[in-house]
Amino acid sequence: MTWEPPHDGPLPQHHHNCLGCGDRNPHGHHLQVRLEGGALHARHTFDERHAGAPGITHGGAIATVLDDVFGFAGYLIGQPAVTRSLSIDYDRPVPVGAICDITARLERREDRKLFLTAEGVDASGARLFTARALFLVVDLQHFHGPRPPDSSARSSRTLL
Ligand SMILES: CCCCCCCC(=O)SCCNC(=O)CCNC(=O)[C@H](O)C(C)(C)COP(=O)(O)OP(=O)(O)OC[C@H]1O[C@@H](n2cnc3c(N)ncnc32)[C@H](O)[C@@H]1OP(=O)(O)O
């Protein structure tokens, strides 16, 4: 069967409990990622739960969101891929409560290796952060390795 890339529009969440995009994770960012012209887009507003310094978004929260947006690259190629490396330049503080538009692109693929870039801008278009990532294509067995005895938290499997 030949893989057909998805059309422009919303992409499915990774699974319901995903910290980035899961609709049932009470601690999650509830990201909604869209495909537009071959790029991945997410409009996100960090809130008080994501503050580091008062009023400023924690860098780790930004990393979480970037990692998850990059994770949607799997939909571009029809295979799951996971983070091997993630690097972020924080150009400006990201105010809590401000709109942040994130665009990520698959720059190139070398066998299992997906080389990705991303940028976040504010409502005026000013750059907030940039990122690079290496994702590795994995088979579904990757997600079925050893689990802790209490596995109730993984009962929901939309994708995985
Ligand atoms: C369905 C998707 C959900 C997405 C959710 C959002 C994203 C996530 O949160 S994913 C979760 C976080 N990530 C993980 O848990 C992954 C943990 N790591 C792993 O499982 C493994 O390291 C894994 C599978 C990624 C790679 O393992 P393995 O197959 O042994 O690869 P490895 O040999 O280390 O590297 C593969 C290639 O990448 C290269 N490479 C590794 N690191 C780098 C780097 N930093 N820069 C450049 N190249 C690198 C290696 O040299 C190697 O190249 P080659 O194949 O040419 O020799």
Instruction: Note whether residue 1 is domain-resident.
Output: no
Instruction: Note whether residue 159 is domain-resident.
Output: no
Q: How much distance in Å is there from the Cα of 122 to the middle of ligand 1?
A: 31
Tell me, what's the pLDDT at 1?
Answer: 58
Distance (Å, whole) CA 18 – CA 13: 8
Nearest CA-CA partner of 48 in 95, 91, 88, 100: 95
Domain at 32, CATH number: 3.10.129.10
pLDDT in tens, the chain (160 residues): 567 778 999 999 999 999 999 999 999 999 999 999 999 999 999 999 999 999 999 999 999 999 999 999 999 999 999 999 999 999 999 999 999 999 999 999 999 999 999 999 999 999 999 999 999 999 999 998 776 555 554 444 344 6
ipTM over 0.85? The verdict is yes
Report the atom number in ligand 1 closest to the C-alpha of 85.
45
Mutate-to-test residue for ligand 1 from 84, 115, 140, 157, highest number of ligand atoms within 8 A of CB: 84
Count: domains in the chain: 1
Instruction: Note whether residue 144 is domain-resident.
Output: no
pTM for the full predicted model? 0.92
Instruction: Note whether residue 151 is domain-resident.
Output: no
- Do residues 57 and 46 touch, judged by C-beta distance below 8 A? yes
* Structure tokens given for 154: 């993984």
Instruction: Note whether residue 47 is domain-resident.
Output: yes
Range of the domain at 125: 9-139
Q: How much distance in Å is there from the Cα of 136 to the middle of ligand 1?
A: 5
Instruction: Note whether residue 3 is domain-resident.
Output: no
Burial of 9 from C-beta contacts in 10 A (0-12 / 13-18 / 19+): exposed
- Does the CB atom of residue 136 touch ligand 1 within 6 A? yes
